[in-house]
Structure 1
Amino acid sequence: MTGQVESHLVTLANGHRLHPEAAAAFALLQQDASAAGFELAIASSFRSYDRQLAIFNGKACCQRPVHDERGQVVDMNALNSMEKLAAILRFSALPGASRHHWGTDIDVYDAAAMPAAYQLQLSPEEVAPGAIFDPLHRWLDRRMNAAQSHGFFRPYAEDHGGVAVERWHLSFAPISEGLETVLDASTLQQCWGDELLLREEIAKDLEAIIDSYVKVPKGWCSMF
Structure 2
Amino acid sequence: MKSIKFLIVLIILFNCKEKGEVASKVEVVIEDQIEVKVETEDEIMMDKDFLLGKFDYKTHPDFVKVDSKLSSKILFIQTETYDAYLKMHAKAKADGINLIIISGTRNFEEQKRIWNRKWEKYKELEPIERAKKIMEYSSMPSTSRHHWGTDLDLNNLTNSYYDSGEGKAIYDWLSTNANDFGFYQVYTNKAKGRTGYNLECWHWSYLPLASDYLTAYNKQITYKDISGFEGAEYAKDVKSISDYVNGISEKCKRFTTKK
The match for 1:4 is 54
Q: Which runs of 5+ in 2 are unaligned?
A: 1-50, 69-73
Larger helix fraction of residues:
2
How far, CA to CA, are the matches of 2:247 and 2:90 in structure 1?
27
Provide the TM-score with structure 1 as the length reference.
0.78
How far, CA to CA, are the matches of 1:154 and 1:218 in structure 2?
7
How many residue pairs get matched? Answer: 192
The match for 1:200 is 233
The match for 1:212 is 243
Residue aligned with 2:235, SS: helix
Task: Please list, as runs of the form range in 1=range in 2, the aligned pairs for 1:1-224 lying within 5 A after superposition.
Answer: 1-5=51-55, 6=57, 7=60, 8-14=62-68, 15-62=74-121, 76-109=122-155, 122-127=157-162, 129-145=163-179, 148=180, 150-159=181-190, 160-184=194-218, 186=221, 189-190=224-225, 192-193=227-228, 196-205=229-238, 208-217=239-248, 219-221=250-252, 222-223=254-255
Larger strand fraction of residues:
2
Distance 1:56 1:141, change over 3 A: same
Return the structure number with greater relative CO, CA threshold 8 A, min gap 6.
Answer: 1
How far, CA to CA, are the matches of 1:40 and 1:171 in structure 2?
15
Aligned partner of 1:9: which letter? F
Distance 1:16 1:199, change over 3 A: closer
Cα RMSD of the aligned pairs, angstroms, is 2.1
Residues 179-220 of structure 1, C-alpha deviations (whole Å, 9 max, x = no match): 112225846644633xx1112222435xx3212111254852
Mapped contact 2:223–2:236 kept (Cα < 8 A)? no
Q: Which runs of 5+ in 1 are unaligned?
A: 63-75, 110-120
How far, CA to CA, are the matches of 2:136 and 2:201 in structure 1?
14
Structure 1 stretches of 4+ moved >4 Å: 184-188, 216-219
Provide the TM-score with structure 2 as the length reference.
0.68
Mapped contact 1:144–1:152 kept (Cα < 8 A)? yes
184-193 or 129-138, which moves further after superposition?
Answer: 184-193
Residue aligned with 1:170, SS: strand
Mapped contact 1:4–1:49 kept (Cα < 8 A)? yes
